[in-house]
């Protein structure tokens, strides 16, 4: 009796008190789950930190900037490129994780059991219903146990196998999306660079002429108010002068914006002065008669969007296989090593081996429906790829048409610039001889500057539209797996690609797909 009382009066260990206290704290804190909004001061602090981080990450630019350097710097420093690279890396790591999920399950388990008294019980005879043994126990009130179990299920392994294949295709999809990011960067940088190059050459001439034009316009208005000149002729002169001034203002705003955009793309402060190679020092690409059938075939084979859909089709096909696997019985094996510190056990350590088969009979009803859903998803992916193919062909034809139109516009702009140059020559001679007023000479100079701006913008449009043609067929400026950290090497690769494009090079689709996908930088052939 004394022993029984002694066994009942047992104080709980100190760890139990700690667990009770921790549980109380968690219960109290759970009563206030509503998050607090970020304060305005915290937003301001975050903005200051982000602004300082952006300023710290600016990379200084030395020397004159050409197109190859602008593109290479954008690929290396642009945040969109870094994000695409990080996403590709994430998909690769998730692929490693998917492979690891195919391994058997190895679980280690350990525990400690405590109770305030013995787990005593009596036994009753089955046939007589009489008590056969007095109250007894075979387990200590306090004892520990541990086990190490290895299990593997064939059904789960099969599903994990197809999930790993899906993740492998998603890693390829990430590379194709990175190609698309590079393609978008190419379009943006090419257009912005050539507009900024035109600004570099022509903006210094715009402001002085605009200042003179404003003075002449004010003087003409004053003479109109004083009735010193014929009213209709003066108003007609003012109207023409205002049209030229308005067009110059629009062109100046566009060119100025281009320099700010270019600075952002190449990761330099917007206020930093950038010296660019002028448009007049760069010859426009010659007219290229590219085979439209070959352009379309190349585009359908290399466009990132279409290759993404091709991988998505493979991903969807794995879903069909997974649903088929789930309809099969699950056969698994397990083995474990076990230990229990209970001193009443004859064998404190033992091993277990077993085989188990399970079959979810409801899968015979659910499985066919799930397979039909997966097959429908596969068909939708195929239809989406066909629809994107039509859009890609349209874009290829339009981009090539725009390139040819840009060449025609450049020819007309060059002729107009040549005519304006002759007009200005005669106007200056007439002005020197007193045959024409200073206002008329200025108006012709403004018209000549507009023609020069239009010529340079047309030349920039030729460069941009040619880059758009190659982007529309999915030819890579650099391979998606290229090292973007070595800037001098990257600049040389970009320069070689641009040179090949201006020579009409197209990738050879007969080479291995991985090499063809890397574009004309590998083994270009004339087309």
How far apart are the two ends of the chain, measured CA to CA in Å?
A: 104
- Decide if 402 contacts 410 (C-beta within 8 A): no
Q: Summarize pLDDT for 183-202 with one digit per residue, the tens.
A: 888 888 888 888 888 777 77
The mean pLDDT value for 374-395 works out to 93
Q: Summarize pLDDT for 40-73 with one digit per residue, the tens.
A: 888 888 888 887 877 776 677 777 888 888 888 8
Across the chain, mean pLDDT equals 80
The helix (run of H) or strand (run of E) holding residue 78 is: none
| Domain locations along the chain | 80-109+158-328+364-474
Residue 296: pLDDT above 80? yes
DSSP 423-446: HHHHHHHHHHHTSS-HHHHHHHHH
Superfamily holding 80-109+158-328+364-474: Outer membrane efflux proteins (OEP) (1.20.1600.10)
- Decide if 163 contacts 101 (C-beta within 8 A): yes
The mean pLDDT value for 319-325 works out to 91
Q: What is the pLDDT of residue 29?
A: 57
Q: Locate 252 and state its tokens.
A: 């100046």
Beta bridge partners of 311: none
276 versus 433: the higher-pLDDT residue is 276
Please, is 187 exposed, middle or buried when counting C-beta atoms within 10 Å of its C-beta (0-12, 13-18, 19+)?
middle
- Decide if 462 contacts 285 (C-beta within 8 A): yes
The mean pLDDT value for 85-98 works out to 84
Q: What is the pLDDT of residue 2?
A: 43
Most confident among 128-142, 156-170, 481-495 (mean pLDDT): 156-170
């Amino acid at each position: 009796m004394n022993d029984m009382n002694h066994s009942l009066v047992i104080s709980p260990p100190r760890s139990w008190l700690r667990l009770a206290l921790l549980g109380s704290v968690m219960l109290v804190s759970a009563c206030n789950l509503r998050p607090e909004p970020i304060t305005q001061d915290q937003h301001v602090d975050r903005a200051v930190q982000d602004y300082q981080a952006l300023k710290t990450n600016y990379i200084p630019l030395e020397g004159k900037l050409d197109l190859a350097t602008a593109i290479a710097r954008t690929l290396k420093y642009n945040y969109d490129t870094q994000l695409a690279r990080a996403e590709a890396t994430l998909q690769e790591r998730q692929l490693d994780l998917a492979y690891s999920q195919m391994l058997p399950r190895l679980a280690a388990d350990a525990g400690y059991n405590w109770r305030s008294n013995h787990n005593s019980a009596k036994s009753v005879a089955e046939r007589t219903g009489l008590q056969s043994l007095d109250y007894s126990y075979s387990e200590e009130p306090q004892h520990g146990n541990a086990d190490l179990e290895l299990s593997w299920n064939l059904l789960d392994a099969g599903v994990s196998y197809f999930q790993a294949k899906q993740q492998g295709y998603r890693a390829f999809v990430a590379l194709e999306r990175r190609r698309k990011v590079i393609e978008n960067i190419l379009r943006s940088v090419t257009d912005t660079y050539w507009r900024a190059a035109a600004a570099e050459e022509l903006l210094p001439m715009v402001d002085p002429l605009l200042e003179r034009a404003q003075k002449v316009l004010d003087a003409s208005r004053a003479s109109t108010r004083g009735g010193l000149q014929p009213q209709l002729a003066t108003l007609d002169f003012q109207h023409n002068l205002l049209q030229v001034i308005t067009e110059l203002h629009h062109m100046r705003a566009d060119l100025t914006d281009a320099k700010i955009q270019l600075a952002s793309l190449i990761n330099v402060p917007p206020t930093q002065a950038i010296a660019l190679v002028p448009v007049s020092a760069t010859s426009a690409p010659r007219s290229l008669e590219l085979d439209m059938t070959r352009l379309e075939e190349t585009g359908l084979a290399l466009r990132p969007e279409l290759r993404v859909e091709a991988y998505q089709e493979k991903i969807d096909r794995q879903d069909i296989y997974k649903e088929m696997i789930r309809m099969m019985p699950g056969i698994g094996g397990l083995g474990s090593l076990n230990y229990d510190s209970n001193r009443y056990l004859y064998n404190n350590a033992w091993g277990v081996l077993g085989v188990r088969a399970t079959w979810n009979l409801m899968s015979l009803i659910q499985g066919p429906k799930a397979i039909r859903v997966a097959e429908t998803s596969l068909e939708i992916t195929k239809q989406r790829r066909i629809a994107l193919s039509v859009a890609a062909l349209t874009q290829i034809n339009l981009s090539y048409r725009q390139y040819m139109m840009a060449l025609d516009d450049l020819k007309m702009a060059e002729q107009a610039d040549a005519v304006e140059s002759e007009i200005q020559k005669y106007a200056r001679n007439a002005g020197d001889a007193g045959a024409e007023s200073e206002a008329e000479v200025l108006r012709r100079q403004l018209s000549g500057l507009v023609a020069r701006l239009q010529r340079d913008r047309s030349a920039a449009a030729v460069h941009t539209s040619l880059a758009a043609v190659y982007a529309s067929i999915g030819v890579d400026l650099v391979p998606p797996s290229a090292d973007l950290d070595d800037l001098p090497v990257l600049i040389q690769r970009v320069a070689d690609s641009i040179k090949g494009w201006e020579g009409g090079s197209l990738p050879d689709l007969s080479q291995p797909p991985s090499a063809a996908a890397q574009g004309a930088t590998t083994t270009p052939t004339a087309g």
